[in-house]
Amino acid sequence: MRQLTRARQLLLATAAFIATAVSADNVDLSYCTVCHGAHGNGNPAIRAPKISAMEPWYLRRQLEAFRDGVRGTHPDDAAGQEMQPVGIRLRDEAAIDAAIAYVSSFTPKAPPITVTGDSARGRALYATCASCHGPKGEGNQTLGAPALADRSDWYLVTQLRNYKAGLRGSDHRDTAGAQMRALAATLPDPQAIDDVVAYINTLRESR
């Protein structure tokens, strides 16, 4: 890492060498579906979660977080680091609006269930989550909590692990993330994460 940091410091010195960045008006929204799959329904082969049917306000917050380096800059968050420069490309509100409108045009599909865990144990653990994300995982915009049911389950596991390990929610500007980080820390072990996500999967039918 020391070498990388040094390279970062030298960035200004070498600005003359680089190929020219393509101008911002050339934002290609096909990027969204190249990684996140047709209709944004996710692609686990490249660790890209489902983004279809995501709440516009939550999409905006995450795109801004990536753009501003609040998210996806932790050196151990390899997948987040892939998304972060894409966020930087969305330089103005118009570009973010266009991305959100594009995602809203997708036909969402229920993602496959891939996580196995003890959903009975998960149900007990979910009590903490329910206060913000709702008893049916339906989300709560007032509290800034997105819906959880119908998301890529493997991605929920990854994000809970990331919160727990401080890969997400560590930036001082990320107040919502800091809350999640504190709550993820209360999940005692990796099995608890699988269990709670297994329970969230059962909420799909009840909604």
Partner 1 sequence: MNQGLSRRGFLQMVGAFGGSAAVYQAALGMGLLPAVAHASRPDIAPLTGKRRKKVVILGAGIAGLTAAYELRQKGYDVQIIEASHRAGGRNLTLRGGDLIDECGYPQTCRFDRDPDLYFNAGPARIPGHHSALLGYCKELGVPLAPFINDNRSALVQDDAMFGGRPIRNREYITDTRGFIAELLAKSLKPEQLSAQFTGADYTRLLEYVRQFGELDARFTYTGSGRAGFARHDYTGPETLKQPLPIAELMKSRFMYLMSFGELDDQSAMMMEPVGGMDRIVAGFMAKVGDCVRTHAQVETVRLTGNGVEVVFRHKGERTLLTADYCLNSIPLQLLAGIEHNFPAEYADGFTAVQRGKLFKIGLQMKERFWEREGIYGGISWTMQDITQLWYPAHGIHRQKGVILGAYTFDDETGEKFSRLAPAQRIELAIQQGEKLHPGYRSYVESGVTIPWHRMNHMLGCSARWDDSVRAQWFKRLQAPLGTHYLIGDQLSYHSGWQEGAIHSAFHAIADIDRREREQAARVVAA
Question: Per-residue x/- marks for partner 1, 29-68, CB under 8 A?
Answer: -xx-xxxxxxx-xxxxxx-x--------------------
Instruction: Tell me the closest approach of the beta carbon of residue 81 to partner 1, in angstroms.
Output: 5
**Is the Cβ–Cβ distance between 160 and 197 less than 8 Å?**
yes
| 175 neighbors 64 (Cβ within 8 angstroms) | no
In angstroms, what CA-CA distances link 130 with 146, 148, 199?
11, 10, 12
Could you tell me how far CA 142 lies from the centroid of its own chain? 19
User: Which listed residue (2, 21, 172, 189) binds partner 1 by CB under 8 A?
Assistant: 21
| Residue 150 region by backbone torsions, left for phi larger than 0, else alpha for psi between -120 and 50, else beta | left
Residue in 69, 78, 127, 191 binding partner 1, rule: CB under 8 A = 78
How many chain residues touch partner 1 (CB under 8 A)? Answer: 45
End-to-end CA distance of the chain: 46
Six-digit token pair at 111? 């993602």
User: Would you give the binding string for partner 1 spanning residues 101-130, x where CB under 8 A is met?
Assistant: --------x---------------------
Give the interface segment with partner 1, choosing from 52-60, 75-83, 136-144, 184-192 (CB under 8 A).
75-83
Which CB, 49 or 146, lies closer to partner 1? Answer: 49
| Min dist. Cβ of residue 203 to partner 1 (A) | 25
Q: Can you spell out the DSSP letters for 67-115?
A: HTTSSS-STT-HHHHHHHHHHHH--SHHHHHHHHHHHHTS---PPPP--
- Which CB atom, from 41 or from 119, has the smaller least distance to partner 1? 41
Which chain residues interact with partner 1 by CB under 8 A?
3-4, 7-8, 10-11, 13-15, 17-22, 26, 28, 30-31, 33-39, 41-46, 48, 75, 78, 81-89, 109
